[in-house]
């Protein structure tokens, strides 16, 4: 089915309600959405930790209502309906503009891949179907850092740079896997002292994707942002410290401006900070510690942390279905190899990735996309075209006449 047929058949998606149930061992948050005849339940479970202040849950609703809006994007993209009907709570006009921009730019890659050519003004509107409005949280007793750990080099650099404040740091993981758990342990923290979040997509979403509804990338980092500030409320942390670098600001596709990393960009960060300050809580601060750094700068710093080299993972293919490996065949693997190669010896790289990826001509397509020979970069979290070429120049100088196949 194409987007026009779907938008005609499914004119709106409704955000009906949400509940937060406190169980003995966890908090269970459920969101209820409706698209035509289809009802969805999106679940988030947060295991209780001894350092949580559950008294703060009295101000939870404003956090959870907004979190439900960003999680709605996964279900909205099935048909890209023209309207979002708000029954769980309402938004003022400024809030509606924030969400309209996030839906449109956050789904930039999704629109590009699915050839969706709908102007910004017509993409989506938000309509209040209730007078229920959530008051801004007044909680102000916060201290220390909540640090999202993704298992890759960036969050490792952040947690290492923050080691001088180790006692006030708390790690934060969404859907824990091998690399994230290993990172926490190697950094000297424990899972008992880590905030864990388990996100569960409604299985009906996967079923409908298989039946021809639209599918594609959603702005997960925006979900992470709203999850982060809620978990900061629970753990009484003042700062949610991200690991997004300056390279995330570059468009993935030059012509359309679509950016795989929009929700990691400075543009989103500034919009989000302003939104949280005005509508959710003025005392929880969200920012990226690495914003002033490029991927190349981060790779150089990461190369010093040898203790993480065998356990970090950034490959989305290798992490699917609970996996914890480098596939060695995707653009993300090639990019990480390239960006580390100026700072690590070849045998060290092979020890991490299993082989010399720069010697694999089957990766030439990705190589051309990363270096800018093609107008569109891989839709992955990769660096800018300029710094990829800078890294390649450094590798060529390092290897002299003994160049691997892709560099030849």
Q: Which two tokens stand for residue 7?
A: 């938008």
Q: What's residue 320's pLDDT?
A: 80
- What is the rounded distance in angstroms from the CA atom of residue 404 to the CA atom of residue 356? 8
Phi, psi of 293 (to 5 degrees): -110, 155
Check: CB of residue 13 under 8 Å from CB of residue 40: no
Q: What's residue 345's pLDDT?
A: 95
**How far out from the chain centre does Cα 215 lie?**
17
Q: What's residue 1's pLDDT?
A: 79
Q: What's residue 393's pLDDT?
A: 96
DSSP secondary structure, 270-333, as one string: HHHHHHHHHHTBSS-EEEETTTT--HHHHHHHHTT-GGGTTT----HHHHGGG--S--SSSHHH
- What is the rounded distance in angstroms from the CA atom of residue 364 to the CA atom of residue 360? 8
Q: Which two tokens stand for residue 254?
A: 């030059």
Strand order in the sheet with 285-288: 125-128, 83-86, 12-22, 26-35, 38-47, 195-200, 169-174, 145-148, 239-242, 285-288
Q: What's residue 106's pLDDT?
A: 97
Tell me whether residue 210 is exposed, middle or buried, using C-beta atoms within 10 angstroms of its C-beta: 0 to 12, 13 to 18, 19 or more. exposed
Q: What's residue 319's pLDDT?
A: 82
- What is the rounded distance in angstroms from the CA atom of residue 53 to the CA atom of residue 39? 33
Q: What's residue 117's pLDDT?
A: 94
Check: CB of residue 35 under 8 Å from CB of residue 208: no
44 closest CA partner among 195, 214, 148, 215: 195
Q: Is the dihedral of CA 308, 314, 318, 322 positive or negative?
A: positive
387 closest CA partner among 331, 329, 338, 314: 338
Residues of the chain scoring pLDDT < 50: none
- What is the rounded distance in angstroms from the CA atom of residue 223 to the CA atom of residue 73? 9
The pLDDT tens digits of the residues spanning 270-313 come to: 999 999 999 999 999 999 999 999 999 999 999 999 999 999 99
The pLDDT tens digits of the residues spanning 96-137 come to: 999 999 999 999 999 999 999 999 999 999 999 999 999 999
């Amino acid at each position: 089915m194409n987007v026009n047929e779907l938008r005609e058949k499914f004119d709106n998606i409704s955000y009906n309600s949400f509940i937060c149930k406190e169980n003995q061992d966890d908090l269970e948050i459920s969101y209820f959405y409706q698209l035509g005849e289809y009802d969805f339940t999106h679940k988030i479970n947060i295991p209780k930790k001894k350092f949580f202040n559950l008294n703060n849950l009295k101000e939870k609703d404003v956090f959870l209502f907004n979190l439900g809006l960003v999680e709605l994007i996964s279900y909205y993209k099935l048909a890209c309906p023209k309207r979002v009907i708000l029954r769980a709570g309402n938004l003022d006009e400024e809030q509606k503009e924030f969400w309209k921009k996030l839906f449109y730019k956050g789904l930039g890659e999704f629109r590009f891949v699915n050839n969706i050519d709908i102007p910004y003004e017509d993409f989506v509107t938000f309509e209040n179907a209730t007078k229920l409005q959530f008051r801004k949280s007044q909680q102000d007793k916060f201290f220390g850092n909540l640090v999202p750990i993704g298992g890759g080099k960036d969050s490792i650099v952040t947690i290492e740079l923050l080691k001088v404040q180790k006692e006030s740091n708390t790690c934060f993981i969404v859907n824990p896997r091998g690399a994230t758990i290993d990172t926490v342990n190697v950094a000297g923290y424990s899972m008992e002292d880590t905030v864990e979040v388990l996100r569960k997509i409604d299985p009906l979403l996967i079923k409908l994707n298989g039946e021809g509804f639209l599918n594609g990338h959603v702005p997960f980092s925006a979900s992470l942002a709203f999850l982060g500030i809620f978990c900061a409320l629970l753990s009484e942390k003042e700062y949610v410290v991200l690991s997004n670098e300056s390279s995330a600001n570059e468009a993935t596709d030059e012509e359309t401006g679509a950016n795989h990393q929009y929700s990691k960009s400075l543009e989103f960060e500034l919009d989000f900070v302003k939104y949280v300050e005005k509508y959710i809580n003025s005392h929880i601060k969200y920012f990226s510690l690495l914003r002033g750094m490029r991927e190349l700068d981060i790779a150089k710093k990461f190369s010093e942390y040898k203790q993480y080299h065998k356990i970090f993972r950034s490959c989305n293919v290798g992490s699917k279905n609970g996996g914890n490996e480098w596939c060695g065949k995707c653009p993300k693997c090639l990019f990480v190899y390239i960006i580390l190669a100026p700072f690590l010896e070849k045998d060290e790289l092979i020890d991490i990735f299993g082989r010399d990826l720069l010697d694999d001509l089957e990766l030439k397509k990705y190589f051309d996309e990363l270096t800018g020979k093609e107008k569109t970069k891989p839709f992955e979290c990769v660096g800018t075209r300029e710094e990829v070429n800078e890294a390649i120049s450094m590798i060529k100088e390092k290897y002299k006449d003994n160049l691997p196949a892709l560099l030849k």
